[in-house]
Each structure stands twice: as structure tokens, then as C-alpha cells.
Amino acid sequence: MLLDGKVAVITGGASGIGLATAKRFGAEGAKLCVSTSNQEKLDQAVPVLRGQDYEVIGVRANVRQMKEVTDLAAVALKTFGRIDILVCSHGYSHFSNVVDEDEEEWIKVVDTDLVGCFRCSKAVLPAMLKQRWGRIIYVAATSSFRCEASWTAKCSAKSGLLGLTRGLALEVAGQGITVNAICPAWVRTERAKFAVNEQAKRQGKAYEEVWEKIVNSYPMKRVTEPEEQADLMLYLVSEAARGLTGQAIALTAGAEW
């Protein structure tokens, strides 16, 4: 198996792309530490993963709190003895025009999507540097490259995430560690449903109408599934991708970015 003996820490690992990635990595022999700030989701996801005979622990952690992130890494190290892979699949969404945006909501988006990834990386890097091997993947988005009205906070955070990807990749180059970002467009997840609902409200349209328009705008007339993004992650953590670092890779079913 590709990841036999490897340990993966996955934030946002109890749903969507994060959960799909946990399943994919577990099937390839990885030991899993899945985390989210939502205890209810964690309590649902961990038994599912264990039911597939994956070795997994669930740790509740808020990526906006450095101590909780440090504790997350410490639990993974105490349980499994090493950390090889970090996947940051967490996120927070809030949509509003800048003139109407509440400052605390703006900061919360950036603190979660961008600074949260910094905190997670800072927490796991000492273990990776010590063993001179590691893989870090951030879940960015096509909004890292382009924006839409009322998405300014999200786009600012995701654009900044590409700077973190490139900068950190250079910092650890030559240490056996790679750092990359995946940049999905719409993916069929619970988070996407929330975002489309918000968009539909702003446009005064039905959810189904907005979703259909999104899907039909794609050259392939479909959006990607979480499992497809997980397959891309599997490649990025494999030895086949050992020379790939500092990159932003978009798996979008043909959507422009």
C-alpha cells in the first residue's frame, strides 16, 4: 500500500473533501488523525472510518487557537509516534459586501482559512524536519485566482494561502518536505451547498436554479466529487510527487481559473 506506516493529520477531516481524503489515505495504509472543531461531526466520522478497519483517532481542535493546534499535533505524535502528512481541509465561509461586512466575520474567515493553515504547519513541521520527510497540502480554491462580488474575504484568504504554499515550500526545500495546494472549483459537499444557498438568497433565486446554472457553466457539465480531490491528494503525498512543491493545482472539471 502506498501509505503503509505513514501518519496523516487531516483538519476538516470529518466531512467533505477532508473525510474523503481520510478514507482514501486509510485505504492505502495510513494511520489517521482527523480533526474538526465540530464534535458532533467528529463523533459521526470516526466510527465510519473505524468501521472500514482504518487505524484512526479523532481530535477536536479549533484552528483559530494555537494551543489547540499544538495539542492536536502532540496527541498525534503521542499516539502514533510520528507525523508524515498534513492536509488542511478546514474552512469557514461568510459572504458579504465589504461596506456591509462585520469586521469580526472578515477576520474569522482569514484567521480560519489562512492563519489556521500557518498554525497547523507550525505545529507539525518540527516532527517532519526531524525525520526529513513530510507532505503538506492546503485546500485552497479557484477563488485563489479569481473572485466574485461578496466573496472578498474568502478570496483574500485563499489568495494568501498560495503565498503561504510557495513561501513555506522554499523554506523546507531540500529537507524532504513538499508543500502544495489544491484549488478546487465547486465540489459536491455540504460546504458547497451552504455557499450556493447564500448565493441564491442574494440573487433572490431558488437553490436548484443557481446550482443548475453552476453545473451547466462547466465545460464537462459536472462538478467534481470529494473523492476526485482525494485522489489528487494521494498523488501529492506519494513518492511519485517528491519533486513537486510550491504548486497550486486545480482539478475543476474544466472550469476556468
Question: What pLDDT, in 10s, does the model give residues 26-82?
Answer: 999 999 999 999 999 999 999 999 999 999 999 999 999 999 999 999 999 999 999
Q: Domains of the chain: which residue ranges?
A: 7-185+224-249
Which residues lie across from 9 on neighbouring strands?
Answer: 33, 86
- 92-112: average pLDDT: 89
For residue 212, count CB atoms less than 10 angstroms from its CB and return exposed for 0-12, middle for 13-18, buried for 19 or more. exposed
Identify the CATH class of 7-185+224-249: alpha beta
Does the pTM surpass 0.75? The reply is yes
Question: What is d(CA 72, CA 92) in angstroms, rounded to the nearest whole number?
Answer: 19
**E-assigned strands of the chain?**
7-11, 31-36, 56-60, 85-88, 134-139, 177-182, 248-249
Residue with cell 466529487: 225
Which residues, listed in sequence order, are joined to residue 8 by a DSSP beta bridge? 32, 85
CA distances (Å), 209 to each of 40, 193, 204, 222, in order? 31, 13, 10, 15
Position 140 pLDDT exceeds 90: yes
Q: Residue 126: CB partners within 8 Å, gap ≥ 6?
A: none
Q: Residue range 184-195: average pLDDT?
A: 84
Q: What is 145-156 written as a DSSP string?
A: T---TT-HHHHH
Categorize the per-residue pLDDT at 186 as very low, low, confident or very high, splitting at 50, 70 and 90.
confident
Average pLDDT, the chain: 94
State the alpha helices, DSSP H only, in 97-151.
103-110, 116-131
Q: Where is average pLDDT lowest: 37-41, 108-112, 250-254? A: 250-254
113 vs 123: CA distance, rounded Å: 16
pLDDT of residue 46: 98
Cell, residue 124: 507539525
